[in-house]
């Protein structure tokens, strides 16, 4: 086995891991602020992929150009879902919250199947189609663009959370909801903002994935399980932990599939998660 093949496999794992990280960042943000696990997060990603596909199919607009519009549409959808559904169960039991977001997942998936049928669709001739060769290594340009977009989106989100007053209010609400309300921070607005940002992150990931991954109603399920593993591995509520864990999971999945067998790559990811939580139950960067 040549060093070039191992290096290419490693870098391919990092590229897909960065996309996993972006999906997981939105999921962990919602949990960190509200302590609610959003089982419909994968369906937000699916809707982001469909939004990019239809703007390309109907108006010949490349997903890279329409990415800001896709993010804005998913942000509005996420905030609307919070105001219309999640707000009603914010103080309900965890079981009720789980069933609500799970039901939302089934509803969004069913709507997609009704409107667009279970057909596989794809975007051809995108601006990022093709491959890039670096010496003996070759990578798909769509994967590179997706990884770069994921890094940029995560950096912008980190800047927003750590360098703006609104981000500080969001962090304060996540740290202590009651104390934040006593300081005049409107908790309900922060919750809606968290859902909007979480959905926008999923929408951005969907737009980036649509340049090289097929679009179909169940596509979210292919990523949300990995996203849950990434969130738990990095630490529930930790954005930086989700980013780091996404890269780790991507490398383990791709390297494990290459060295051991593609049928065992998910099992290796789950085994890694079990080993980490046995040693550090709060995750890599989570708080105990």
- With pLDDT > 90 as the criterion, what percentage of the chain qualifies? 64
Question: Residue 210: what pLDDT?
Answer: 95
Among candidate residues 121, 131, 129, the one with its CA nearest the CA of residue 64? 129
Q: Please write the tens of the pLDDT for every residue from 234-244.
A: 888 888 889 99
The proportion of the chain whose per-residue pLDDT surpasses 70, expressed as a percent, equals 99
Residue 132 CB neighbours (<10 A): 11
Query: What digits encode the pLDDT tens for the residues 153-162?
Result: 999 999 999 9
DSSP state at residue 128: T
Query: In the predicted model, is pLDDT for residue 1 greater than 70?
Result: no
Q: pLDDT value at position 288?
A: 59
Residue 222: pLDDT band with limits 50, 70, 90: confident
Q: Please give the domain boundaries of the chain with CATH numbers for all domains.
A: 3-117+127-279 (1.10.3470)
Q: CA 251, CA 257: separation in Å to the nearest integer?
A: 10
Measured on CA atoms in the order 68, 72, 74, 79, is the torsion positive or negative?
Answer: positive
Tens-place pLDDT, residues 72-109:
999 999 999 999 999 999 888 989 999 999 999 999 99
Q: What residues form DSSP beta bridges with 133?
A: 138
d(CA 265, CA 254): 7
So what's the pLDDT on residue 258?
A: 86
Query: SS3 of 139, please?
Result: strand
pLDDT for 265 equals 86
- Residue 172 and residue 32 in contact, taking contact as beta carbons nearer than 8 Å: no
Measured between its terminal Cα atoms, the distance across the chain in Å is 42
Q: Is the pLDDT of residue 181 over 60?
A: yes
Asked whether residue 285 carries a pLDDT value surpassing 60, the answer given is yes
β-strands 137-140, 131-134: how paired? Answer: antiparallel
CA distance 97 to 68: 30
Region of 130 (left: φ > 0; alpha: ψ -120 to 50; beta: rest) is left
């Amino acid at each position: 086995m040549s060093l070039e093949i191992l290096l290419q496999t490693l870098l391919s794992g990092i590229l897909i891991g960065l996309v996993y990280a972006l999906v997981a960042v939105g999921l962990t943000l919602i949990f960190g602020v509200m302590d609610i696990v959003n089982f419909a997060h994968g369906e937000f990603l699916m809707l982001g992929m469909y939004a990019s596909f239809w703007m390309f199919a109907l108006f010949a607009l490349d997903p890279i150009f329409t990415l800001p519009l896709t993010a804005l549409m998913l942000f509005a959808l996420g905030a609307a879902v919070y105001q219309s559904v999640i707000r009603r169960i914010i103080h309900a039991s965890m079981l009720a919250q789980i069933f609500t977001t799970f039901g939302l997942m089934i509803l969004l998936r069913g709507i997609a199947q009704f409107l667009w049928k279970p057909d596989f669709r794809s975007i051809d001739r995108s601006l990022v189609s093709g491959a890039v060769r670096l010496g003996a290594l070759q990578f798909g340009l769509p994967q590179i663009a997706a990884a770069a977009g994921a890094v940029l989106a995560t950096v912008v989100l980190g800047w927003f959370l750590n360098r703006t007053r609104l981000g500080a209010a969001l962090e304060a609400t996540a740290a202590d909801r009651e104390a934040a309300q006593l300081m005049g921070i409107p908790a309900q607005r922060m919750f809606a903002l968290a859902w909007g940002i979480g959905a926008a992150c999923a929408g951005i990931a969907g737009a980036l994935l649509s340049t090289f991954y097929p679009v179909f109603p169940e596509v979210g399920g292919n990523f949300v399980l990995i996203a849950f593993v990434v969130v738990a591995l990095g630490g529930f509520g930790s954005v930086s932990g989700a980013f780091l864990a996404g890269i780790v999971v991507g490398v383990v999945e791709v390297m494990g599939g290459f060295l051991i067998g593609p049928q065992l790559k998910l099992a290796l990811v789950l085994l890694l998660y079990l080993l980490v939580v046995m040693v550090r139950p709060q995750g890599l960067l989570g708080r105990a």
